[in-house]
Structure 1
């Protein structure tokens, strides 16, 4: 299919501050990025308070060591989990907006994903609880991203957008 002026207008309308779904997306993305930045600051805090560093020069400068520290590593693992899950969600949820789902569905999916990731990090990095709490929270976000991907792909295939 070739692009035309109408297709461009749809693109402009979807990815515009005039579209409430796009505004919800921007808010969710902003909060997720701030959450990840907070996790990075928590890593720095634990590194400084435990004097546990990755690089020898940092350890020498701060009079610490390079031995692994469980507090630091636990928060780092939470951040890695975010990187494995939030990045693909950011791209997929943006693509999902292009199929123009109902606003209530967009808001629900974005809010549930955001809350599940915030709680996942909290229970992984700050207040450790036994499984399956984290597993359930991870699964919720994974299913939402998968739903958005499947919905978008099916929409495009049904409407004849085949490579």
Structure 2
């Protein structure tokens, strides 16, 4: 099986570290007790919020992809199709995070990256559903 779902999770975890980095850099924290550590202020900062939104966006697609990519392994498709879809999903999600949280590029770059990953997720999900329906129907 391709390791891409695992790499996607590691990419998500890197956004957590990036959030911490920006919180320390801007000296902004979310709770009163954290403000005593390095003289930080309680509140938000646009850089921190941008990374948090990128992470939230990952939470909207990557867990579903992990589940559906697992089931997709039982659908009879050529291995190269699985690899192309998984790698394309990983690349598009990584680029999405990069242009959202690290090096901001104006739209539609982020939207295109999101759409590619989202369409792959829809395709895999529909393919699994159709295969499951057909396989269940033929057994009866």
Structure 1 counterpart SS, 2:41 = coil
Alignment partners' CA distance in 2, 1:129 and 1:122: 9
Partner residue, 2:95:
119
Unmatched 5+ residue regions in structure 1? 1-21
* Structure 1 segments (4+ residues) deviating >3 Å: none
Show the 5 A alignment for 1:13-28.
22=1, 24=2, 27-28=3-4
TM-score calculated relative to the size of structure 2: 0.94
Output the aligned Cα RMSD.
Answer: 1.3
Across the two proteins, how many residue pairs are aligned to each other? 138
Does 1:33 pair with 2:9? yes
Unmatched 5+ residue regions in structure 2? none
Deviation by residue 1:54-105 (Cα, 9 ceiling, x = unmatched): 1110012221111210010000000000011111001011111111321010
Question: Whose RCO is larger (CA < 8 A, sep 6+)?
Answer: 2
TM-score calculated relative to the size of structure 1: 0.81
Does 1:97 pair with 2:67? no
Show the 5 A alignment for 1:45-84.
45-84=21-60
Larger Rg: 1
Partner residue, 1:150:
126
